[in-house]
Amino acid sequence: MKIAYLSVFYPFRGGIAQFNANLFQALDKIHRVQAYNFKRQYPSLLFPGKTQHVPADDQAFPVPSKPVLDSINPVSYYSTAKHILKEKPDLLLMRYWMPFFAPSLGSVARKLKKRGVTVVSIIDNLIPHERTLLDKPLSRWFLDQNDGCVAMSTSVCNDILALRPTMPHIVRNHPLYDHFGALQDKEEARTKLGIDPDKRTLLFFGFIRDYKGLDLLLEAFCDLGDMYQLVIAGECYGSFEKYDKMIRLLPDHSAVKVFNRYIADAEVPLFFSAADVCVLPYRTATQSGISAMSYHFEVPVIVTPAGGLAEAIEGPGTGLVTSGTDACSLMQAIRKFFTMDRDVFIDNIRTEKAALTWDRFALDLMDFVGQIKKKTTI
């Protein structure tokens, strides 16, 4: 089958591009895949980070792609569709993670669908964490341009069916990232990061945005005591000032080590190797690529009962789910974690690692595409 994969790829950075690179490689083993990339993903004024591109010294997989789509230039919507149609694909595969991309991706999908190309999208988030009045109308219109969707969690699936109850769909969990390299010696990793080798170490990893609840974690950390330390690693989208103020007011602010910058792939093993547990204190969520990274390094996870996070952790027993989305619940879960047998969590993570492979995800995806094609030819 000829697959046109339209999304964001190298040299763009971030979890979506990393996911696409891994899935591209898995699909390319069994089908003919051409990657189509953005020429411009976000206008500079709308992008909250420092850069949209991978640093020159990073180890990201350079997927060969054709940069064709400009998210805010409607002329490119037409030219992208025309370009892809010349290759006569059997499938247009896309990723959808925020309504901002509905006009660009949806317009291309609409033109290809009218020409008989099957259109399937992998949906990370249908309704964004920071919402506007246009989110539902845009996402509803985008769904109409698809023949089927892959939901990355049950909560995303529920959002899809709330807008389009008859949409063909499957639910598949995020495969595990396996391109970051091996786990390092814990004591050595902590020494390199400049943190105490003996304290109970919590890790908050990834881009820092309001909905991710770092303030809740800092509030919980305030009452944990001197046996704990916290590593914050990731670029802040917006001002870090409020978090910095909370850190300065802690009983021992030196127990928090901050790396407020983009963490290159080559550095990722260092942070997870130093951690006892990864904490995702999100206020809202559907699923998270951070848990997939944590699983790769066999680091248990503590999450709030937000969206699809709880189902991904509680079911397989790979960590703890807090009783609520508040600082007190976080503190209680963290303390409870360190009274439990960590090896049980690690054994369960290893079971998940065997199941959540990119090859399995690719096979399930293409089986779903086959079912859609079979129904449309009847």
* Predicted confidence (pLDDT) per residue in 79-119, tens digit: 999 999 999 999 999 999 999 999 999 999 999 999 999 99
pLDDT, residue 367, reads: 97
Give SS3 for 218. helix
* Distance from C-alpha of 319 to C-alpha of 313, rounded to nearest angstrom: 6
Phi-psi region of 220 (alpha: psi -120 to 50; beta: other; left: phi over 0): alpha
d(CA 366, CA 372): 10
208 and 235 Cβ atoms separated by less than 8 Å: yes
Q: Averaged over 318-323, what is the pLDDT?
A: 94
Average pLDDT, the chain: 91
State the first-to-last Cα distance of the chain, in angstroms, to the nearest integer.
19
CA distance 123 to 158: 12
pLDDT at residue 54 greater than cutoff 70: no
Residue range 2-13: average pLDDT? 91
Beta bridge pairs of residue 203: 231, 278
- pLDDT, tens only, 218-267: 999 998 999 999 999 999 988 999 999 999 999 999 999 999 998 888 89
Where are the extended beta strands (E) located within the chain? 2-6, 32-40, 65-70, 91-96, 118-123, 148-151, 169-171, 200-205, 228-233, 256-259, 277-280, 301-303, 319-321
Res 15: pLDDT: 82
pLDDT of residue 11: 86
Reported as a pLDDT band with limits 50, 70 and 90, residue 354 is confident
- Flag whether pLDDT at 312 surpasses 90: no
* pLDDT attached to residue 358: 94
Whether 288 shows a pLDDT value over 80: the answer reads no
Question: 369: exposed, middle or buried (C-beta count within 10 Å: 0-12, 13-18, 19+)?
Answer: buried
Using the predicted structure, report yes or no on whether residue 297 has a pLDDT greater than 60. yes
State the angle between helix axes of 358-377 and 15-28 in degrees (0 to 180), rounded to the nearest 10: 70
From residue 319, how far is each of 80, 232, 302, 313 by CA, in Å? Answer: 43, 19, 6, 6
Q: What percent of the chain has pLDDT over 70?
A: 93
pLDDT at 9 exceeding the cut of 60: yes
Nearest to 29 by CA among 370, 361, 368: 361
Predicted structure pTM score: 0.82
Q: For residues 233 and 203, what is the distance between their CA atoms, to the nearest angstrom?
A: 8
Averaged pLDDT, 163-186: 90
Asked whether the predicted pLDDT for residue 377 surpasses 70, the reply is no
The answer to whether 15 and 289 have CB atoms below 8 angstroms apart is yes
Find the mean pLDDT for residues 312-330. Answer: 92
Among 104, 90, 100, 107, smallest CA distance to 124 is for 100
The pLDDT of residue 330 = 96
d(CA 286, CA 221): 25
Question: For the packed helices 289-296 and 342-355, what is the interaxial angle rounded to 10 degrees?
Answer: 110
- pLDDT attached to residue 368: 98
Q: With beta carbons less than 8 A apart as the criterion, state whether 306 and 190 touch.
A: no
* Res 50 pLDDT > 60: no
Question: What pLDDT sits at residue 48?
Answer: 55
Residue 157 pLDDT: 94
> Which domains does the chain possess?
2-175+357-377 (3.40.50.11930), 186-355 (3.40.50.2000)
The one-letter amino acid at 275: A
Cα angle, residue 103 at apex, residues 76 and 105 outer, rounded to 5°? 70
68: confidence class by pLDDT, cuts 50, 70, 90: very high
Sorted by sequence, the CB contacts under 8 Å of residue 368 that are 6+ apart come out as 120, 148, 150, 168, 170
